[in-house]
Copies of this chain bind each other. A is one copy, B any other.
Amino acid sequence: MENAPLFDELEHPWELLAELIEANNVELIIALLDQLNPSATALAVSRLSQPHQSSLLTLLSPEDAAEVIEDISDSQAVDLIEDLEPQQAAAILEELDSDHIADLLGELDEADANAIIDEMAPVEAEEARQFLQYEADTAGGLMISEYLDFRSDQSVQDVLDDFQTNRDEYTYYNVQYLYVTDENNQLEGVLRMRDLLFPVRTTRLHQLMIRTPYAIHVNASLDELRDFFEEHDLFGAPVINDNNELLGVVMPEAVEDAKRKRSVRQFLGFSGIIGGEEFRSMPLLSRSGRRLSWLSLNIVLNIIAASVIALYQDTLSAVIALAVFLPMVSDMSGCSGNQAVAVSMRELSLGLIRPKEVMRVLSKEASLGILNGITLGVLLALIAYLWKGNAFLGLVVGGALAVNTVVAVTLGGLIPLLLKRLKLDPALVSSPLLTTVTDMCGFFFVLSFATLVLDKL
């Protein structure tokens, strides 16, 4: 079905792409992009210089430019669109699905987004403004406006005629269901494509349709949408407002995609990449600045934790061997705590724990913390004793690790629940908060226990 490739397999297609852009050779650019699969396109575009990226979108027709935009990630796309004239950007965006338009406009500065909307055709502009007002990760933010709706007094023949007339437009639609509305655009029913196969063609839609179909409120959250599509095996669901007016359609793929993006944000946030994705094709200073914004907060937290050590310098001078164990105790406790954070975040996202169930997490994690604390404490005590030959040193560091593991595991389990109740993002805040507290406590337990038995060490 694919034609023979015009170009040989290229190791670095972006080099050829850059040459073709320099030569303004639109025909070969399109041929080359056609030959690349979406991730190869995304890779090639990301490796172009900033000026070449802008030229590429400017050279291509809005339709072809929109295909490029569809192949690359939203963060990349926003970077490219920012560099375009609003008029060009508007022409390209108009070729995309309505939820994709809203996603991209939502990630732009408000001024940039408005400048682009002003250049769009009135109908599309109106729709974009409407879609932008819905929050991301709600039914409104995920729905599309590309669906088929008919009036309940239309006949099967009317629908089939409409299909023939608009065949070209509808091929871009995910046509699974026909939605049936009354004269006020209020949702009355739904029809599956195959329901049109058998009936007499003069039948009116209200005679065929499934009445009061499942519908989703425009403000439904991502978790509600997940539940909805897990419960009902549908190819799409109509989105309505308080007045039962049909506003759009949410596809299960959009819900899956939003869930996956949420997982990615969690992973990135946990690793200290905040404020959107970073790609190595971005300018050095912007990458550096974004990473530093998180690291500079971290340095403050570290000072707070390390100041505990400063309070016990006399003990540390007297028993310098303790310095070896300080980072071990704090690091081990941090790891134990992060495990509990991960389990809590996972249970929260699956709905297996509710934010208010603090007592359940407390009892489950405290018992596990005691068990693992004793195990790890005994292990570290033995290591310290064998290494330094002092049983009291073993007791001090092992005891400190045991107690601090209980603190870290319990706190790690609870922090995501508490942050969720405070409407803060557990992925971003849990780890730094936990690490600071467990570092402080770890240093404090080792050094204060040591101070108690200083003459035996």
Report A's interface with B, CB cutoff 8 A: 1, 37-40, 42-43, 46, 70-71, 73, 160, 163, 174-176, 193-194, 196-198, 212-214, 223, 226-228, 230-231, 233, 235, 252-253, 256-257, 259-260, 263-264, 266-268, 270-273, 277-281, 284-285, 287-288, 291-292, 294-296, 298-299, 302-303, 305-307, 309-310, 313, 316-317, 320-321, 323-328, 330-332, 335-336, 338-339, 341-343, 345-347, 350-353, 360-361, 364-365, 367-368, 371-372, 375-376, 379-380, 383, 435, 439, 443
Given contacts A271-B342, A313-B323, A323-B326, list 9 more A-B pairs with CB under 8 A.
A71-B230, A193-B194, A196-B197, A267-B346, A279-B343, A295-B335, A309-B323, A317-B317, A331-B439
Q: Are B39 and A343 in contact (CB under 8 A)?
A: no
CA distance A139 to B336 in the complex (A): 37
Q: Name the CB-closest residue of B to A73.
A: B350
* Inter-chain contacts of A379 with B (CB < 8 A): 296, 299
A231–B292 alpha-carbon span in the complex (Å): 37
Given the interface contacts A231-B38, A291-B368, does A302 sit within 8 Å of B332 by beta carbon? yes
Contact of A335 among B272, B287, B313 (CB under 8 A): B272
- Chain A interface main SS type: helix
| Interface pair A339/B291, CB less than 8 Å apart | yes
Q: How many copies does the complex hold?
A: 2
> A273 contacts which chain B residues (CB < 8 A)?
339, 342-343, 346
- 7 A-B contacts (beta carbon < 8 Å): A1-B212, A39-B230, A73-B350, A281-B352, A295-B372, A299-B376, A307-B324
Query: When chains A and B are docked, how far (Å) is the Cα of A296 from the Cα of B326?
Result: 17
Given contacts A280-B361, A325-B306, contact A291 B372 (CB under 8 A): yes
Is B352 touching A43 in the complex (CB atoms < 8 A)?
yes
CB-based contact B263/A299 at 8 Å: no
- Output the least CB separation between A78 and chain B (Å): 15
**A324 and B343 contact, CB distance less than 8 A:** no
The 10 closest A-B pairs by CB, nearest first: A271-B342, A39-B351, A263-B263, A256-B256, A38-B230, A260-B260, A37-B227, A302-B328, A280-B364, A272-B339
